[in-house]
Structure 1
């Protein structure tokens, strides 16, 4: 117990857990109704408690990152299935194997940005990824190459998603709700970089663009790696020509090919008036 809790007029909840464990084993103390509410998993996972769980998922990473002094992040989105170059022969298709250079670019970008972050003692420009394999692993790996820490925002899924070995363990979070996870991606973002990926990457990219477009989020450098990829996946000009977005919405992002080009855009970026 810390000094603050010793001086608090109410008992520490941890003390109550210890006391509850020492209670006599009776029908009454074994009954679910007798469990302390905050220690009752069956109670906390009831449908009625969803608002509480949403709040807890928002609050836990927030408090931990605040305690670590993390002020701003560099968000890195990208495909979980893109292999590292040394594993490209294990890819399920040649097309997927051909995307492996993006792993290297993500790793180099994260390394350079983390080296810069160390100048603020790891408080600013911290790399944050989804914490999984593929491009996400590359981002966390690049941060580890630089000797810095990085954040992983994992989520419980039936397949694919488990923390990669390069996420800083004390900054490795797990989520149930996609919405809260997305909030933590963007709450501290000073730049967003997006590599080729599937539905998850597209979802994250378009939600972030929508928030900036609608002024619900401050404009930040927004970079898409791989012009040929993105122009083949999304007909950007058709969106503007059809009038479903404004022509100036195409200025919300830039396409780049290399880590150095991305960093140059970030360094030269000026916040719109």
Structure 2
């Protein structure tokens, strides 16, 4: 026996149409005014409400949650975080910039401003070796373990140019995933082109971005840089020193640069840090030394990043 189809209800419910004009000529205008009020918008569609002071806690949570969910879905277990100057460029770019300044100075040899630009351009050309080195470091990390398709340990950077670009580029060179954590700034900026698209995030809050830098970090590698690099370096040094986070290997690449920039021994001599605080970080001169130290550190603490039988990126690069 076939079931009878229920009749389709074509009659609109009372609330599906406004109050008729026949009952009140002003009703439609009044309803339109109500529906145009910001309070009538759905909360999730009300950008003014979502950007209000009172909803900052919700925005902080969303700033954290979106990258967390995407990284979890991508199988990102551990990250090797790389910091360094956004101003350090690859050699050919640094050389072109130097030649441009030299050309200007040739036409105006007494220009003191151009002389200073020349000095900076020469220094940046020297530091371009760190771009190449950070790129190689990205390759080492990305080719370790099961190889480029293994997302257990990936490169993570701040998503910008310079050293950050180089590390992401190294991963991109070998077809591996890498993460970029950009930050929304008042001036326009672009992510570097070598980040895995579905793992490139933009944050509003520096604090939440910092949280994600260290949440999965199994090492922090710091190349020469400025304020931003120093900020991230001393953040992790303070967290480890105060036992607010478990220790991880912190590798500072470019000992000559860092020794000129910061006199760590002076801090010990003055008693402002303890001698053992100098053991929180390790100096390295290149990518191979940095990655070897990280691998050895984790072997020592029985938290190996490369399982037995698997290869390190350095072995695969040979």
TM-score range, shorter chain: 0.7 to 0.9
User: Are 2:271 and 1:243 aligned?
Assistant: yes
Q: Structure 1 CA distance, aligned partners of 2:133 and 2:280? A: 22
Q: CA deviation at 1:55?
A: 0.8
Is the contact between residue 133 and residue 160 of structure 1 (CA under 8 Å) also seen in structure 2? no
Larger Rg: 2
Could you tell me which runs of 5 or more consecutive residues in structure 1 were left unpaired when the two chains were aligned: 1-23
Q: Structure 1 CA distance, aligned partners of 2:174 and 2:153? A: 13
- Which of 146, 154, 166 is the matching residue for 2:194? 166
The residue aligned with 1:35 is 41
Q: CA deviation at 1:229?
A: 0.4
How many residues end up aligned between the 2 structures?
249
User: Are 2:117 and 1:104 aligned?
Assistant: no
Q: CA deviation at 1:118?
A: 4.8
Q: CA deviation at 1:96?
A: 2.1
Deviations 1:15-58 (A, max 9, x none): xxxxxxxxx99322222111110111111001111111111111
Q: CA deviation at 1:221?
A: 1.3
How large is the Cα RMSD of the aligned pairs? 1.8
User: Are 2:217 and 1:189 aligned?
Assistant: yes
The residue aligned with 1:83 is 89
Q: Structure 1 CA distance, aligned partners of 2:92 and 2:69? A: 38
The residue aligned with 1:73 is 79
Q: CA deviation at 1:72?
A: 0.4
The equivalences for 1:198-213 within 5 A come to: 198-213=226-241
- Which of 166, 175, 180 is the matching residue for 1:147? 175
Q: Structure 2 CA distance, aligned partners of 1:120 and 1:226? A: 27
TM-score (structure 2 length as normaliser): 0.75
SS of the equivalent of 1:136 reads: helix
Q: Structure 1 CA distance, aligned partners of 2:163 and 2:145? A: 20
Q: Structure 2 CA distance, aligned partners of 1:120 and 1:137? A: 18
Q: Structure 2 CA distance, aligned partners of 1:126 and 1:32? A: 44
The residue aligned with 1:216 is 244
Q: CA deviation at 1:215?
A: 1.1
The residue aligned with 1:233 is 261
Q: CA deviation at 1:217?
A: 1.1
SS of the equivalent of 1:166 reads: coil
Deviations 1:54-84 (A, max 9, x none): 1111111111111111110000001100111
Q: Structure 1 CA distance, aligned partners of 2:148 and 2:176? A: 11
SS of the equivalent of 2:143 reads: helix
TM-score (structure 1 length as normaliser): 0.87
Could you tell me which runs of 5 or more consecutive residues in structure 2 were left unpaired when the two chains were aligned: 1-27, 99-116, 303-318
The residue aligned with 2:69 is 63
